[in-house]
Amino acid sequence: MPTKRRVVVTGRGVLTGIGEGCQTFWDALVSGQSGVRRITRSDPSRYRNPLGCEVPIDDPLVVERPDLGRASAMLLRVARAAAQEAGLGSAHAPPRRRVGVVVGSALLDLRSAEDMLCGEHPTASFIDNFSMAACVARDLGVQGYNITFPNACGSGTLAVAVAADLIAIGKLDAVIAAGADTYTESMFGLADRANLRAPRCMAPFDRHRGGPLLGEGAAALILEGETSARERRARVFGEVTGAGVTCDAVSTHKTTMEGVSAAITQALSRSGMCAQDIDYVCAHGTATDVNDVAETRALERVLGARASAIPVSAIKSMLGHTSGASGAVAVVAALLAIEHGIAPPTMNLANQDPELGLNYVPNRAQRWSINTALVNAFGFGGTNACVVLRRYNAGAYA
Amino acid sequence: MSGAVVTGIGVMAGAAHNFAGFVDLLFAASPIFPMNPNRLRDFDPARLLGRQGLTYLDECSRMALCVAAEALSSSRIDMRNVRDRGRLAVVTSTNLGVLQTVHRAAATIRRDGSRALRPIDLPNASPNVASSHVAIRYGLQGGNVTVAAGFASGLVALLQGEYLLRSDRADVVLVVGVEQMSPEARVLLDAALTRDAECVVVLGDGAAAVVLERDDDAAARGAVIRAKILGSGTCQGDGYDDAPFLAEAIMECLAEAELDPADLSLVLSADCGLGAFRVPEGRALSNSLDRSGGVPRAAPKSRLGETYGAAGVLQLIAAIACIERGGIFVSPASWRDCAEVEAAVPLVVTQRRADVRSALTLAWGPREQCVAIAVGAP
């Protein structure tokens, strides 16, 4: 049944091409830094457009865990950071049988499989790479239910949505909800081949937007039942009030306004909120012709006049499209936006598409009173997952 | 008790292309244990689905579509007159479904660069492509979720389907498990499974689907209930000795199902023929099912091969086959465990009739999550 137990965020970890850790990441976001650079983890000469947004760390856990693929290593890095911030290892933390792991990863560690099948670097542990959530659970010593979703680019917000559900129905007391991805050669190459343009930057909602630049990254959140967090006096960074999960069921590769609208509507409904309650939108904003239009039209349809009154930012303009990680990264960004009262900018927005009329926070961060935020993520297969976050107020909304 | 029931079944494995064929395969009077790999034979998706739209689909998507068709059809849900498709969801378990596309594309890029690729392969390189084709073909708009959880994947997908019902995200969930043992999949699985092993595992293609609904919803529409999900248990191991964690998952499952081991009719083992699986599972079962006379045990993978992401859903369907058939299928005597384990959970090596009222299905892999689901007769 719809969420009864309140779900709060007590830990965060983030690793992207523009910074690691909440403070560095936030500073980079509000100052509009770009993570775009010539890729180094594949031979750039193999692609028409060799630009991407790699994490500038060679081997996230190489000494400690040489058996892990890169996505899993980044995942462990952010999960450890989030668990530490939440104090999951402390004496008062929920028992480990009541702590689960939900991971979203569009491409899993298929990069390791590519390398192995093509005869290069056959070192990564295959079993670990297809059970990323189990890998986190073992590393952090938690024993509750765990699951990994390779659900395309909506994976990260789906992970948050499912984690919140598991707490809400009483299955678990706390969940490490995360997204992590590094690009595969196949996906990088196929995106390069399918995109008729070769953009030098990501410019969501711009008239001359040229599509996404793939990136890599990871983010993790510790979601916890409010009672558990309160009892152990954990610091709370925000509340997950509800999520919408839908499928367009129309095309494997095109997002539709109807499917996105349904997901946003469901997220609001399960949060017990209406359009007027939303103060900020952290958009999916992939800079494709179809997606940017579908997302804008869906926001206009569901939020009505409110859509053009609030900031809508596309942080992929800075850190690239981190695939399945992007939704979890966006949840971290939205929590920081609530905390600081600032909407991060959409960079590279020189000529806003005249057909798209929202306040996309062009090129400069905006101060804004933000109590609630909507985070959108959509992916191949018509998968849509939207999450509503709220500033935590212990006494309110009971 | 979970409150979820199974109202539709679709399955393909080996020479079986539907549930009836699958029951025949399991209960064949002269069982033929499969050769490696156990490929799906005479598979013709066009015969089942028509030719339209199949051209650019990968094999896993075709298999998933076929079992989804059978499961939805057998559930007797009138798909043309569903009022709210947003209440229909699909959860698909697959670990290796996109490997062929991914390998082909990566090899092409390394040889000739990205210009030599076919753009049509773009969605086929996303691991959720099979689930997406199912959602698109049958208009399932309530969620399209893919699960990759290794050996436990199929049972985890069933649990996730049940959680979608429990958290009111859907009224009907189609749970699919699908895996194709492509040459790429065999390379990776062989490398993983034979690291410490003494023999080669028989790998198998497999696809299976079940329709899950809440029991009161199913009853209200007059659906034929094939089985009830009685309870489940999970526990993540520490990566060193999985037996105690599997035992914990089993006990949690029995407690949730309110089942005494004395009431358990059958255990469906996750054994794939390797000591690395058999030994910890045997210890876990003998430690958690203390019953005089023992609980009969059967090993579906001895008939189907290791179908990895499909295995959990196939095992659930094997349990339902035993319930409906009123018997337990035969496993090879060479898969027997030590005397202590055989006393607690004797492997059934000769065909026999049995009133199977409840079955415990297991899925786990070294270093992975241990999962147990109890299923009961309607």
* HEC string for chain A: CCCCCCEEEEEEEEEECCEECHHHHHHHHHCCCCCCEECCCCCHHHCCCCEEECCCCCCCCCCCCCCCCHHHHHHHHHHHHHHHHHCCCCCCCCCHHHEEEEEECCCCCHHHHHHHHCCCCCCCCHHHHCCHHHHHHHHHCCCCCEEEECCHHHHHHHHHHHHHHHHHCCCCCEEEEEEEECCCHHHHHHHHHHCCCCCCCCCCCECCCCCCCEECEEEEEEEEEHHHHHHCCCCCCEEEEEEEEEECCCCCCCCCHHHHHHHHHHHHHHHCCCHHHCCEEECCCCCCHHHHHHHHHHHHHHHCCHHHHCEEECCHHHHCECHHHHHHHHHHHHHHHHHHCEECCECCCCCECCCCCCECCECCCEECCCCEEEEEEEEHHHEEEEEEEECCCCCCCC
Q: At what angle do helices B275-288 and B243-257 cross, to 10 degrees?
A: 50
Is residue A121 less than 8 Å (CB to CB) from chain B? no
Residues of A in contact with B197 (CB under 8 A): none
Residues of B (42-101) whose Cβ lies below 8 Å from A? 85-86, 89-90, 95-96, 98-99, 101
pLDDT tens for each residue of A367-398: 999 999 999 999 999 999 999 999 998 876 54
Is this prediction's ipTM beyond 0.95?
Answer: yes
Query: Which chain B residue is nearest to residue A382, measuring alpha carbons?
Result: B132
Section A333-344 average pLDDT: 98
Residues of A in contact with B236 (CB under 8 A): 134, 137-138, 142-144, 146
* Of residues B103, B115, B135, nearest to A193 (C-beta): B115
Q: Hey, which residues of A are catalytic here?
A: 153, 284, 321
CB spacing of A106 vs B142 below 8 angstroms: no
CB spacing of B136 vs A252 below 8 angstroms: yes
- Encoded tokens for B193: 């499974």
Section A49-64 average pLDDT: 82
Burial-class residue A305 by CB neighbours within 10 Å (0-12, 13-18, 19+): exposed
pLDDT for A128 equals 62
Section A298-317 average pLDDT: 98
For residue A12, pLDDT over 70 is answered with: yes
pLDDT tens for each residue of B329-339: 999 999 999 99
For residues A225 and B52, which has the higher predicted lDDT (pLDDT)? Answer: A225
Residues of B in contact with A116 (CB under 8 A): 187-188, 191
pLDDT band at B53 (very low <50, low <70, confident <90, very high): confident
pLDDT band at A3 (very low <50, low <70, confident <90, very high): very low
Closest approach of A362 to chain B, Cα-based (Å): 31
Section B334-345 average pLDDT: 93
- Residue A277's nearest CA partner among A190, A397, A365, A97 is A397
pLDDT band at B374 (very low <50, low <70, confident <90, very high): very high
- pLDDT above 90 covers a percentage of chain A that reads 87
CB spacing of A1 vs B238 below 8 angstroms: no
Section B28-55 average pLDDT: 87
Query: From the CB of residue A277, how many other CB atoms can be counted at a distance below 10 Å?
Result: 17
Cα B367 to Cα A94, B114, B166, B240: the distances in Å are 23, 37, 28, 7
pLDDT for A129 equals 67
pLDDT for B275 equals 86
Residues of A in contact with B119 (CB under 8 A): 190, 193-194
For residue B194, pLDDT over 70 is answered with: no
For residue A170, pLDDT over 60 is answered with: yes
* Of residues A114, A147, A262, nearest to B147 (C-beta): A147
Residues of B (101-120) whose Cβ lies below 8 Å from A? 101-103, 105-110, 113-115, 117-119
- Residue B318's nearest CA partner among B335, B334, B304 is B304
Residues of B (168-227) whose Cβ lies below 8 Å from A? 168-169, 184, 187-189, 191-192
Tell me the backbone φ, ψ of residue B312, rounded to 5 degrees: -60, -45
Supply the Cα-derived Rg of chain A in whole angstroms. Answer: 19
Spatial separation of the C-alpha atoms in residues A71 and A108, rounded to whole Å: 7
For residue A54, pLDDT over 80 is answered with: yes
CA dihedral B360, B365, B370, B373 (to 10 degrees): -30
Section B89-105 average pLDDT: 95
pLDDT for A63 equals 55
Which of B2, B114, B164, B203 would you mutate first to test chain A, the one with the most A CBs within 10 A?
Answer: B114
Distance between start and end Cα atoms, chain A = 17
Residues of B (234-253) whose Cβ lies below 8 Å from A? 234-239, 245, 248
CB spacing of B126 vs A379 below 8 angstroms: yes
For residues B195 and A301, which has the higher predicted lDDT (pLDDT)? Answer: A301
CB spacing of B367 vs A138 below 8 angstroms: yes
Spatial separation of the C-alpha atoms in residues B264 and A125, rounded to whole Å: 37
Is residue A72 less than 8 Å (CB to CB) from chain B? no
- Least confidently predicted of A119-123, A148-152, B88-92, B194-198: B194-198
Q: Which residues of A260-269 are buried (b: 16+ CB within 10 A; e: fewer)?
A: bbbbbbbbbe
Section B2-11 average pLDDT: 94
CB spacing of B145 vs A193 below 8 angstroms: no
Residues of B in contact with A324 (CB under 8 A): none
* Of residues B95, B123, B369, nearest to A252 (C-beta): B123
**Contact assessment for residue B309 and residue B128, using Cβ atoms and an 8 Å cutoff:** no
Count how many residues are written for chain B: 378
CB spacing of A259 vs B143 below 8 angstroms: no
Residues of A in contact with B168 (CB under 8 A): 1-2
Is residue B131 less than 8 Å (CB to CB) from chain A? yes
pLDDT band at B366 (very low <50, low <70, confident <90, very high): confident
Residues of B in contact with A107 (CB under 8 A): 126-127
CA angle B139, B144, B149 (to 5 degrees): 145
Residues of A in contact with B158 (CB under 8 A): none
CB spacing of B188 vs A165 below 8 angstroms: no
CB spacing of A252 vs B133 below 8 angstroms: yes
Query: Which chain B residue is nearest to residue A265, measuring alpha carbons?
Result: B86
Closest approach of A298 to chain B, Cα-based (Å): 16
Mean pLDDT taken over chain A: 94
pLDDT for A130 equals 75
pLDDT for B377 equals 97
Closest approach of B277 to chain A, Cα-based (Å): 14
Residues of A in contact with B216 (CB under 8 A): none
pLDDT for A2 equals 44
